[in-house]
Amino acid sequence: MTTPTQAVILAGGQGTRLRPLTLARAKPVVPFLNRPFLAYQLSLLRHHGVTDVILSCSYRVDDVEAALGDGRGLGVRLRYVVEKEPLGTGGGVRNAADLASGTVFVLNGDVLTDVDLTAMRRFHDERGSRTTIYLAPVADPRAYGLVETDAGGRIERFREKPGPDETITTDLINGGVYLLDAVLLQRIPSDRPVSIEREFFPVLIADGVPCFGWAPPTYWCDIGNPAAYLAAQLDLLQERVNTPLTPPGDRRDGSWIAPGTPIAPGVRLIGPSLVGDGVTLGEGCQIGPLAVIGDGCTIGPGAHIERSVLWEHVAVGPGAAVRDSVIGANGSIAAGTIVGPNAVLQSGAKLPA
């Protein structure tokens, strides 16, 4: 069996679907249970023996480097390739091609998954594949491009998003995790934007290069919009994702609490929830169920946080409530204010304004 030890992560997007959260921070390192999001992909790769990782970046690269550094703290070696101008998903991979060799994993930098990469390698080798794509089943594939395969898994074609009158032939979509021969990356033009889905893969198929789709039962979520970003973190809290990276802090009564963060008598902590470092919890406040409280937050007396994610240093006033919402860093919610459901506040926002 081949043993890929390299991966390329496509982390160059501007995160427009995740705005306003990405106005102040690059999407690959938005907080995810108080860790940078890419920490989960890097942990997955390391768990499967992949420790040499190339990040293809173009937007707010300083954010990414500040959060992840050289990867040593996450048990990997990180190298950065920075696009001078956005080159699309295919161009982003091509930009990293000179550092890649052998058989490499390629991951979209906005996918949370617990896909078994070791099993993917095995599938790849058993079929003599040169490009294997992880395919994820979705309830409504109309929002995505479809990937059609034959009975043996060989990819026959990619279909654009089907129209309302078109027949749905499969519920499988491109899951954004690939295993491929690095030499194939040289086929991607280096001087213009290229879509890996609409251009690179279809050309490989047309040229008869063995390309297979692999569709195991596994967790998959594109975290690219605020609703999915919130939902995926609640899934992590409920341990619906098989990740080697456990929530930070000590586990107490089904929640995770940063060491040294006091939970005073009268505070209602309903798990599963997560309370970060340096958090102040006022008397009679309720945290949870399913709340993520970022480092340095202050929750006033009698406030209520439920099914929500607060970034760092958010101040929630006495008697305020936040439900089914995401609050960016350094935000403030005045006393008695009700936020949500489905509110998304950019970093520094104040309510009422």
CATH number at residue 198: 3.90.550.10
Query: Higher confidence at residue 42 or residue 144?
Result: 42
26 within domain boundaries: yes
Indicate if 183 and 227 belong to the same structural domain: yes
For residues 282-295, average pLDDT = 96
**What pLDDT, on a 0 to 100 scale, did the predictor assign at position 272?**
97
Question: Would you say residue 45 has pLDDT above 70?
Answer: yes
The pTM of the full predicted model, rounded to 2 decimals, is 0.90
Q: Which is higher by pLDDT, 101 or 183?
A: 183
Q: Which stretch, 16-20, 205-209, 250-254, 280-284, has highest mean pLDDT?
A: 280-284
176 & 287 share domain: no
Tens of pLDDT, residue by residue over 134-174, are 998 887 777 777 888 888 889 988 877 766 676 777 878 88
DSSP designation for 6: E
The residues, any chain, with a CB within 8 Å of residue 344's CB and separated by 6 or more, are: 20, 21, 226, 325, 326
Most confident segment among 62-76, 148-162, 241-255: 241-255
Give the number of domains in the chain. 2
| pLDDT confidence of residue 88 | 58
Reported as type and span, the H/E element at residue 323 is strand 321-323
Q: Are residues 227 and 201 in the same domain?
A: yes
Tell me what the mean pLDDT of segment 116-122 comes to: 95
Helix 38-47 and helix 61-68, axial crossing angle in degrees, nearest 10: 50
> Final residue of a domain: which of 237, 262, 280?
237
Question: Domain check: are 217 and 274 in the same one?
Answer: no
Within a domain: 257: yes
Q: Band of the pLDDT at 353, cuts 50, 70, 90?
A: low
Q: Are 178 and 202 in the same domain?
A: yes
Determine the structural domain holding residue 123 and report its residue range. Answer: 6-237
Q: Measure the CA–CA gap between 46 and 53, rounded to whole angstroms.
A: 10
116 and 226, same structural domain?
yes
Task: Please spell the DSSP secondary structure of 252-294, one letter per residue.
Answer: ETTEEE-TT----TT-EE-SS-EE-TT-EE-TT-EE-SSEEE-
Residues 107 and 192 reside in one and the same domain = yes
Q: What is residue 266's predicted lDDT score, i.e. its pLDDT? A: 92
Query: Within 13 Å, how many C-alpha atoms sit on residue 146's CB side?
Result: 17
Residue 242 belongs to some domain of the structure: no
Indicate whether 31 and 82 sit together in one domain.
Answer: yes
When pLDDT is averaged across residues 102-114 and rounded to a whole number, the result is 90
In a domain, residue 244? The reply is no
CATH code, domain with 323 = 2.160.10.10
Query: Is 167 in the same domain as 259?
Result: no
Give yes or no: residues 24 and 92 share one domain. yes
Split at pLDDT 50, 70, 90, the class of 192 is: confident
**In-domain check, residue 1:** no
Task: Mark whether 208 and 255 lie in a shared domain.
Answer: no
Q: Of 202, 237, 272, which residue constitutes the final position of a domain? A: 237
Distance between CA atoms of residues 344 and 146, nearest Å: 30
Q: Is residue 108 one of the residues assigned to a domain? A: yes
205 & 283 share domain: no
Strand, helix or coil for residue 173: strand
Of 201, 216, 237, the position where a domain reaches its end is 237
The candidate with the shortest Cα–Cα distance to 232, out of 290, 297, 313, is: 290
